[in-house]
Chains A and B, each alone.
Chain A
Amino acid sequence: MRHRQGVVVKLPVISLVLWFVAVSAVAGGTPPGLMPLDGRMAPALKLADMDGKTTDLAQMRGQWVLVHFWASWCGPCRREMPTLQRMREQIPVTDLAMVLINTAENDEEVFSFMGVVAPNLESLLDTDGQVTAKWRPRGLPSSFLVDPEGRLRYIALGGRQWDSPAYLQFLRHLTLERP
């Protein structure tokens, strides 16, 4: 009886320690330019792409989501977008979903840009910029990592090289975390 009580007491402690070790491993390996956030709930995000197909972030619970804001006129966006496409080729969508949001441009501008810069990616259109404003990015481009519970966990400072070994390794570790 005493032995069973000991096991009951120890299990949560062991789980807590394992969880802490896992989280610390991810936190310790945060690549430069990625800043942890306080875990507040992500703002609503429901937008359509160029074909009129709607994506709702609320429907994506249960997996990590990279939410990326961009505009065709922004130089760093043009440099960063191909790295997102190459990252997409290496990390399966089942592990990390990706939502691109064009800020305040029309479908012609988005079509021209994506066709040349990242033809394998699709972007949602925030034509009046109001959804972008609610997310309060630090500038353009801007990327957030949203956890499977819909909480904001990281923000990238400016444009990043998402296909670099440090970022790929971080994302692979991160997406092992499950709720």
Chain B
Amino acid sequence: MKPTNRQQSRLGKNTWPVVIVAVVMTLLATAMGEVWAQSGQRLSQESHGLKLRIAPRTPDQILAFYTARHLPEVAVKHLVAACLITVSVRNRSQKVVWLEPGRWRFVFDDGQSAERLDRQYWDDLWQQLKVPLGSRATFGWTQLPESRDLQPGEPIGGNMVLKRTDKTFSIEVRMATGKDKKGAEIVLRIPNVKCATDKVSS
């Protein structure tokens, strides 16, 4: 059944406030310099000349990624049990920005923090498991560096690992700026992050 002209007019009237609110919110978001996007398991934020993207990886993806890079099964088993997130940052600003994941926070809704398993944790574990040096090096090159300057225009990508959790958390990224780290600090926040799980087929 087709709507009458009057009904069409009413529908149009009801839609206007929604459209206006949407436009205003879009303009506000743009004015704040923050554009949010969520597509599947990829989350991104662009602000202060930085583009930050994250993608939590499923256990199957972790298994495929590190098996293809010839990490021993015993090592891959530990990685699959953790929460691995691929991170990419591109510095589109004109200043030096510092990537220091040790200063990032992974905050649950109750204010508690998720635990990040840093390079030292993995180095110790690989030592204990007698993982060959070549595999340790390969693993290291797939990780985000613990401290690195990002020059203007420079991209960087890598994985970071957290202790697996079922809870939702936000990632609070803090980055110092300037060659001597004395510039204004940049803070980006990505909410509603979850460790990825494999889809269970029915």
Contact = CB atoms under 8 A, between A and B. Distances in A.
Interface stretch (A2-10, A47-55, A79-87, A122-130): A122-130
A128 B148 contact: no
A103 B155 contact: no
B119 interface: no
Contact of B137 (A73, A130, A138, A158): A130
B133 A130 contact: yes
Interface in B130-164: 132-138, 140-141, 145, 148, 151, 153-156, 158
Most chain B CB within 10 A, of A74, A140, A157, is at A157
Interface string B50-77: 0000000000000000001110000000
Nearest to A138: B148
Contacts of A35: 151
Contact of A139 (B69, B135, B156): B156
Interface residues of B, number: 20
A103 B70 CA distance: 13
Contact of A128 (B68, B69, B137, B154): B137
A157 B137 CA distance: 20
A59 to B, nearest CB: 25
A17 B133 CA distance: 50
Contact of B153 (A33, A127, A128, A140): A33
Contacts of B136: 129
Contact of A105 (B133, B134, B140, B156): B134
B134 A129 contact: yes
Given A128-B134, A130-B137, A158 B155 contact: yes
A133 interface: yes
Contacts of B155: 158
Interface residues of A, number: 21
Interface in B75-124: none
A66 B155 CA distance: 22
A136 B151 CA distance: 16
Given A104-B135, A129-B136, A73 B69 contact: yes
Given A139-B156, A158-B155, A71 B138 contact: yes
Contacts of A103: 137-138, 141
A129 B137 contact: yes
Interface in A113-127: 127
A127 B138 CA distance: 10
A158 B154 CA distance: 8
Most chain B CB within 10 A, of A33, A73, A74, is at A73
Given A139-B156, A140-B141, A104 B151 contact: no
Contacts of A92: none
A32 interface: yes
A129 to B, nearest CB: 2
B134 A127 contact: yes
A133 B154 contact: no
A24 to B, nearest CB: 21
11 contacts: A35-B151, A73-B68, A104-B134, A106-B134, A129-B141, A130-B137, A138-B145, A139-B158, A157-B151, A157-B153, A158-B154
Interface of B: 68-70, 132-138, 140-141, 145, 148, 151, 153-156, 158
Given A127-B134, A128-B137, 13 more contacts: A71-B138, A73-B69, A73-B138, A103-B141, A104-B134, A128-B133, A129-B137, A129-B138, A130-B133, A130-B137, A138-B156, A140-B141, A157-B154
